[in-house]
Structure formats: structure tokens, C-alpha cells
Amino acid sequence: MVNIDELAQQLIPHYSHFQVAERLLFTGHSHQAWPDVALEGQKEYFLDSAELVDKKWEKAAEKTEILRDYLRDYYDDPDGLYCREENTHVLFVSWISGLDLKKKPKIISTDGEFHSLFRQLHRLEEEGLEVIYVPVTPDKNFAERIISEMDTKTSAVMFSRVYFESSLINHHLTEIAQAARDKGIPVLIDDYHGTNVAPLSIRKANLEDCFILTGGYKYLQWGEANCFLRFPEDCEYRPAITGWFASFSSLEKPRDNSPTHYDHSDQRFASGTYDPSSQYRAANVVQFFKEQGLTKEILRDQYVQKVELLKKHFLDKDFDPSVIRLTHNRDIAKHNGGFLSLTSPKARQIQAALLEKNIFTDARDQILRFGPAPYTTAAQIEDAIQSLKETVDEL
């Protein structure tokens, strides 16, 4: 078992710019601090741009490949392809534009998805797409309810592995993917809250033909503009929304009326020119994680311990449940992601009051979230919940 304080003290000196020792930063589920080496990556990009000019793109591609290799290793997925983009929205729009929505105008999703997916699906629903929002609770028959909606009109199934409000892990991926496979329906999994928190072997879970969205803004500490769509090696999608980066091999060929070409590579869902500084930053963070021994097992262990500690201190304070309570009381090690979810009708008011005390959390509707990070100490966790108690008592 990881000693969480020894790990935190080992890491804290490397996060001097974010002042992780002086501030209570509990938005780890939304934006973790970046280690100091990230700044060196930003500087490296500028210097490479100045020296190499247009030749910098080869170097930038090498940085992106470092990130792809990290994800392939994390997911036990040596054969998966990973398309990089600025955000998951760009990737999702490209991906969904490759579906046959005219013949199959039905999408199955859930009521537990993040705003980006819900907003886009809801807007498409206004244009005539049929969208089924399956409730994520109760969990015991969730897979059965998803599967029961699958029919010949269904073009895709889309859901999260870790729900952004409750932090609960969806353990039904394999069952749902198998049922969808039998009916020839593609599966898209949002794993933004799962990467670097809850290890997943794509091979062992039999998800090799699935599509997975993830990004670096949360637990990877890569920051913005490092999002990826994982897709199977034999994917032949021809997204209608497509950029010229999806077909470098055809750029020198004469233009004619032949079908639009797509390279058989990680770039199938790519758009166009981007700012590679984010990949430089992230590549340095990948190396830093390796040097610090932050393996997937260690990361998981310390998140479990820290969220359990948050939960313990919360329960010890004996809060009035009509004011604030645990969103769920399921076993943290088996069922929870990387943050503690609390439910309160005053969630946003509490979040704002905590921020005035320089304690960073966040709120979504009636959900207040506390997200620790590898550099968070046990004392900081205790201080955060003590401040929560004082804040609630002041309301």
C-alpha cells in the first residue's frame, strides 16, 4: 500500500509554480496542477519553433507519439489507434459524422453524461435524431436497460466509464459492448474521468472494437489541448466532418472526383493545424511520471486512500443530511473514481464560500466535488473537510 504522505512529500517540491503545499487544491477531477517540468516543455516548443521553423512539425509529431504510447500502455492496448485533437468535442463531432444517421437515426446514451455530450446530442435531437437517455440508476439492471433499447435503428451507444457527478464507476462495459457487437452497433466510451484513476485493460475487458474518448486536462496533468479518440486498428469510418490532417498521404496527388481519401493511421478523425506546445508540455509530464514511479497501480491506490479519507472525515463531522450528504455510500475501492461527490441544495453557495477561503473545489447543480491529487497530503484533506464543516455551519 502506498504511503500517501511520503508520496505527496516526494512530489510537492516539483509543483512550485502551482504552490500545491500552500493551497488546498481539490479540483483534481477537473484540473490538476502541472509539475514544473511542464513549463520547460512550453519553453522548449518556443525555442524549437525559432530554430526549426516549419521543420518543427516532425518534432511535434514525436511528442504526440509519446502521449499515444502512454495511453496504449495505460489501457493495455498495443494495437489501438489514438487520434489527437484540441478537445473531445472536435473528436466527437468528427466521429459521429461517420455514422449512418439517415438509415439509423437512434442514439442510446444515459442521463449521467457530461454537458459536452449531452448538449450536442440534445441539439441533434432537435434536428430529428432520436436520443434515448437511459437512467444510470439503479445500477444493478443498468446494462439490461441499455441493451433492451438496442434495435435495427440504433447507430451507436454512448456512455461514461466514470460518471462526472457521482464518481461512480460503470462496471458494465464488457456486457454492453458484447450485446452491441452482436447487433453491429458501435460503442463510444467517455473515459475522461477514468484515465489515470481506474486502470482498464482494453484487451481483458474485450473492448478492442470500441471507441474511447479521453483527455489530459484532469488526472494526466497534461493540461488543455491533449485529447484523444481511441479507435480500433481496422476502423474504416469516413467522417463527413474531416480536416486535411486526416490524409497527409494524398496532399501531393492531383485533385479529381474520386472518393475522399483517409490515411490508415491515428489521424483518421483529425482536423487541421494546431498548437503543438501542449504536446511538448505533456511529453515532459509523461517523463516526470515515469521518473517519480507513478504507475497505474500506485495512482489507483493513492486515489482510493485519499477519497476514503475524505469520506471518513466527512462522516466524522456528522453533517445534517438535509444540508449536505454523500452522493452515494458504495465501497470506494470497488465503485468510486478519483473524487468524493457530495450532494447539497446549497452546493454552489458552499463552493463559492470555500473559494473565498482559498479552497478550490467545484459544484455542478447540487453536486459538490472534492478531488485530491498525488501531491495532496492527509493533513490537507483533514483541513479541507474541517473548512467545509465551518462553512456549512456559517450558512
3-state secondary structure 335-392: HECCCEEEECCCHHHHHHHHHHCCEECEEECCEEEEECCCCCCHHHHHHHHHHHHHHH
User: pLDDT tens, position by position, for the chain (395 residues)?
Assistant: 999 999 999 999 999 999 999 999 999 999 999 999 999 999 999 999 999 999 999 999 999 999 999 999 999 999 999 999 999 999 999 999 999 999 999 999 999 998 889 999 999 999 999 999 999 999 999 999 999 999 999 999 999 999 999 999 999 999 999 999 999 999 999 999 999 999 999 999 999 999 999 999 999 999 999 999 999 999 999 999 999 888 878 777 888 888 989 999 999 999 999 999 999 999 999 999 999 999 999 999 999 999 999 999 999 999 999 999 999 999 999 999 999 999 999 999 999 999 999 999 999 899 999 999 999 999 999 999 999 999 999 98
Residues whose CB falls within 8 Å of the CB of residue 238, separated by 6 or more in sequence, listed in order: 98, 259, 260, 262
Could you tell me if 56 and 280 are in contact, meaning their C-beta atoms sit under 8 angstroms apart?
Answer: no
pTM of the model: 0.96
Using CA atoms, how far apart are residues 158 and 109, in angstroms rounded to an integer?
5
Could you tell me if 95 and 190 are in contact, meaning their C-beta atoms sit under 8 angstroms apart?
Answer: no
Using CA atoms, how far apart are residues 199 and 212, in angstroms rounded to an integer?
14
Q: Where does the chain show beta strands of DSSP type E?
A: 24-25, 81-85, 106-110, 130-134, 154-160, 187-190, 211-215, 227-231, 325-326, 340-343, 359-360, 362-364, 367-370
Could you tell me if 202 and 234 are in contact, meaning their C-beta atoms sit under 8 angstroms apart?
Answer: no
**How far is C-alpha 306 from the chain's CA centre?**
19
